[in-house]
Amino acid sequence: MATQPDAPSDEALLERIVDGERPAFALLVERHTKRFYALAYRSIFQQAEAEDIVQEAFLKLWQNPGLWQKERGARFTTWFYRLVLNLCHDWNKRKRPSPWREGFDVADDADGADDALAQRRKSAAVENALRRLPPRQRTALNLCFYEGLSNREAAEIMKVRVKALESLLMRAKTQLKDELKDYR
């Protein structure tokens, strides 16, 4: 989310949070909650748990703002992506969500119901295919395609080289293309 020209930067807010300023924390939370919720949801596919993960990440920041180290030169978003993704990976290790059934039933009560059903099935198939990706491939896709980060930024967040990130993306796209060939 782009900040207003006269709005304080995330890093300036973090410096104020270190001093215990609640309004600075509230502004940072308001500025970034939707972005990081979307990332968490696309990582674990559980709405309530994704909300909890983002809340936990912000709580960690409030309780220990020194976790973000200004002297290391990392932007807040780069650092916070990593924090949220680590919490998602921890959640995935503890609990494996069961995939949705691809052909779930929907009542056929309107003329457009067939189209709606086809779209829901396609969406479920895409979500199931994304769930089956290895976590690092799914993370690379989330960062580059859904979050719109450059390969360099995503590689920095994932702590891999750009070439390794590109390899993860290629393998993920190949697997998705193969699994979703019936929906083209």
Residue 121 has a CB neighbour count (10 Å cut-off) of 16
Q: What is the pLDDT of residue 110?
A: 52
Residue 62 has pLDDT above 50, yes or no: yes
> Which one-letter DSSP state was computed for residue 110?
S
Q: Give dist(CA 182, CA 184) in Å, integer.
A: 6
Q: What is the pLDDT of residue 97?
A: 47
Domain definitions of the chain by residue range: 8-97, 118-184
**Fold of the domain spanning 8-97:** Rna Polymerase Sigma Factor; Chain: A (1.10.1740)
pLDDT in tens, 87-129: 999 998 886 545 544 444 444 455 566 677 777 787 788 888 8
What pTM was computed for the model?
0.73
pLDDT in tens, 6-61: 789 999 999 899 899 999 999 999 999 999 999 999 999 899 999 999 999 999 99
Helix, strand and coil in the chain, % to nearest 5? 75, 0, 25
Class of domain 118-184: mainly alpha
pLDDT in tens, 147-180: 999 999 999 999 999 999 999 999 999 999 998 8
Q: What is the pLDDT of residue 111?
A: 54
* Contact predicate 74/91, CB 8 Å: no
Q: What is the pLDDT of residue 160?
A: 94
Q: Give dist(CA 167, CA 140) in Å, integer.
A: 10
Q: Give dist(CA 84, CA 37) in Å, integer.
A: 9
- 20 φψ region: left (φ > 0), alpha (ψ -120 to 50), beta (else): left
